[in-house]
Amino acid sequence: MSKQEIQNNTSEGLVEVIKTPISRRNFLAFTGISIAAAGVVSLGLQGCKTDDIVAPVTGSVDVGKNDTGVLNYAYALEQLEAAFYIQAVATPYSGMTGAELAILTDIRDHEICHRDFFKAAIGSAAIGSLVVNFSSINFTSRASVLGTAKAFEDLGVSAYNGAGYYIANPVYLELAGKIVSVEARHAAAIRDLLNPRSADFAGNDVVDASSGLDVQRKPSQVLPIAAAYLSTTVTANYLP
Amino acid sequence: MKLENLYNDIQSKISDDKHSRRVAFKQAGDFGVKAALVSLPFVLSSLLTKTAGAKNTSATVVEVLNFALTLEFLESAFYQRGISMGVIAAGDAAVFNQIVQHEASHVITLRNTIISLAGTPVSQPTFDFTAGGAFPDVFTNYATFLTVAQAFEDTGVRAYKGQAGNLMSNPGVLTAALQIHSVEARHASEVRRIRGQKGWISNADGGGAPASIYVREDNYVQGGVDVRTISSVSPQAITEAFDETLTMDEVLAIAGPFIV
């Protein structure tokens, strides 16, 4: 997939997007916002405990429709990130400095927190635990671990940026916003570890120089990238 | 009351006491002058519009974009000045050259977007980056410059986040705002790291930046649930894992001292 296809980041491109009429489905979703915003929003919290035993999903799973679908989509990505950092901290690459360990440990805890939060927020509609496949990652190699971390964080940022408009409930949108900026903070920190005090923390490979916009991707663009690290097949057949 | 008189009245109140600004605007808003705002300078129009509109509706898309444009003007001018004044350490030049380009691009993108929506972009205000003397050495002391940079970036992150709900009627604009929002967060992380801080916000610790920027950052409750009850990570990690929002009023109160 080319950068051009996934970004649509120029000023001209933005204007094109703005001029695009809202689809009927989205329009209907937006008209419901004021009703949802006026009432008390239930997140469907079920009092989940993090140690609830859930059988991993070994085959395939679809994230579902509407806001639940977007939340499950985010939950899937947070599961992937959490599993990665748990492994990265448990088996440090050779030469990992104390500062690097501290950063990776912080990020691990943030991703675990995000994962646990989504699981609780989605409640009984949550997808199960995904089975990850990290066979392509060399956890003894700094370049492999930090390179993967960079890819995951940038992917997460682009995923939240691209899915935000599909969220109908403003409370969920705000929650997604609270999380995506932390993912972006992670991305910059990892990039700074790889190439300290350079422009890479917000490099031109992710932030379009002319518009100043970060990458955004649709679920249909994100999931094929994530699939390389998942044994479970995750689909988003009802999302863009 | 004639609009011209009202305008002069507001101006005199500003010159009398900068900090009574928002009070004066709120009083002015009570006269229902929203329709005449086009003729007022940007600070007045953005604040009045917000105040007048707050009674029964939330900010419109163009109002949010002009609010964002004001913040981008602030950041863009700040970094341009810092670079021209030579306050930045040589080893960090690449970082701030990248940031200043992004802020300038954000100004252009926001202006183009406002125009495409048939709105009128606000003009660039005059800034006082010492904030009335609170940061007197902002362009001669790198540590002070970095503190103010972190203040602006963390404020920007929280400001965009706080307005996302007001952009939901226009998916294209919402997506673009999110794409700017995450860039501000990248900036914030990098500036914090240069300062020797974590890239993320722990509890409500601003590391010397104004405390008003970090209100509620020590929050544990998300979506109505105390996250401490559903996750085993430390309370501090929970506060780091979620960046909080600021309201438009809170942001204007933070930015106000930097606007002449």
Give the closest-approach CA distance of A175 to chain B in angstroms: 7
CA distances from A105 to A89, A91, A197, A223, B74 (A): 6, 12, 22, 26, 35
| Residue pair B68/B177 in contact by the 8 Å Cβ criterion | yes
Which residues from chain A sit within 8 angstroms of residue B184, using beta carbons? 181
Query: Mean per-residue pLDDT for B142-164?
Result: 98
Alpha helices for chain A (secondary structure H): 3-7, 11-19, 24-31, 33-38, 66-90, 98-122, 142-163, 170-194, 219-226
Residue B251, pLDDT above cutoff 80: yes
**Confidence (pTM):** 0.81
Contact B101/A50, CB-based, under 8 Å?
A: no
Measured distance CA(B161)–CA(A41) in Å, rounded: 19
Tokens 């404020």 sit on residue: B155
- On average, the pLDDT of chain A sits at 84
Give the closest-approach CA distance of A64 to chain B in angstroms: 21
User: Closest partner residue to B168 among A30, A183, A208, by Cβ?
Assistant: A30
Residue of A nearest to B183 (CA): A214
Quick check: B244 contacting A, CB < 8 Å? yes
Contact A173/B164, CB-based, under 8 Å?
A: yes
User: Closest partner residue to A212 among B97, B172, B183, by Cβ?
Assistant: B183
Which residues from chain A sit within 8 angstroms of residue B121, using beta carbons? none
CA distances from A11 to A14, A17, B109, B174, B187 (A): 5, 10, 6, 14, 21
β-strands A60-62, A233-235 pairing: parallel
User: Closest partner residue to B223 among A121, A186, A210, by Cβ?
Assistant: A121
Bridge partners of residue A65, in order along the sequence: none
Q: Is the ipTM of this complex over 0.85?
A: no
Which pLDDT belongs to residue A56?
A: 86
Q: Determine phi and psi for A112, rounding to 5 degrees.
A: -60, -45
Tokens 């500062």 sit on residue: A99
Q: What is the largest CA-CA distance in chain A?
A: 55
CA distances from B153 to A188, A231, B146, B206 (A): 13, 39, 10, 12
Calculated CA dihedral for residues A52, A54, A56, A62, nearest 10 degrees:
-110
Percentage of residues of chain B with pLDDT beyond 90? 77
Which pLDDT belongs to residue A11?
A: 38
Quick check: B187 contacting A, CB < 8 Å? yes
Calculated CA dihedral for residues B236, B237, B238, B243, nearest 10 degrees:
100
Between residues 85 and 104 of chain B, which touch chain A (CB distance below 8 Å)?
A: 91-92, 94-95, 97-99, 101-104
Measured distance CA(A141)–CA(B25) in Å, rounded: 59
Q: Provide long-range contacts, Cβ within 8 A and 24+ apart, for B213-216.
A: B213/B151, B213/B154, B213/B155, B213/B158, B213/B246, B213/B254, B214/B154, B215/B244, B215/B246, B215/B250, B216/B244
pLDDT in tens, B90-147: 999 999 999 999 999 999 999 999 999 999 999 999 999 999 999 999 999 999 999 9
Residue of B nearest to A172 (CA): B223
Quick check: B211 contacting A, CB < 8 Å? no
Contact B199/A188, CB-based, under 8 Å?
A: yes
Which 3 state secondary structure label does DSSP give B222? strand
Which pLDDT belongs to residue B19?
A: 37
Residue A66: name the closest of A161, A162, A155, A169 by CA. A169
Q: Determine phi and psi for A22, rounding to 5 degrees.
A: -70, 135
Which pLDDT band, with edges at 50, 70 and 90, does B25 fall under?
Answer: very low
Bridge partners of residue A57, in order along the sequence: A130
Residue of B nearest to A48 (CA): B230
A·B CB contacts under 8 A = 247
- Sign for the CA dihedral angle at A160, A163, A165, A169 comes to negative
Measured distance CA(B233)–CA(B219) in Å, rounded: 14
Give the closest-approach CA distance of A139 to chain B in angstroms: 23
Query: Token digits for A103?
Result: 């950063």
pLDDT in tens, A182-209: 999 999 999 999 999 999 999 999 999 9
Query: Mean per-residue pLDDT for A132-152?
Result: 98
Which pLDDT belongs to residue A54?
A: 61
pLDDT in tens, B45-67: 444 444 444 444 579 999 999 99
Quick check: B196 contacting A, CB < 8 Å? no
Measured distance CA(B252)–CA(B42) in Å, rounded: 13
| Residue pair A229/A133 in contact by the 8 Å Cβ criterion | yes
Give the closest-approach CA distance of B198 to chain A in angstroms: 8
Which pLDDT band, with edges at 50, 70 and 90, does A53 fall under?
Answer: low
Which residues from chain A sit within 8 angstroms of residue B189, using beta carbons? 184-189, 192, 201
Contact B243/A182, CB-based, under 8 Å?
A: yes
Which pLDDT belongs to residue A57?
A: 86
Residue B231: name the closest of A51, A129, A131, A90 by CA. A51
Which residues from chain A sit within 8 angstroms of residue B240, using beta carbons? 106, 109-110, 182
Contact B176/A178, CB-based, under 8 Å?
A: no
Residue B251: name the closest of B157, B168, B188 by CA. B157
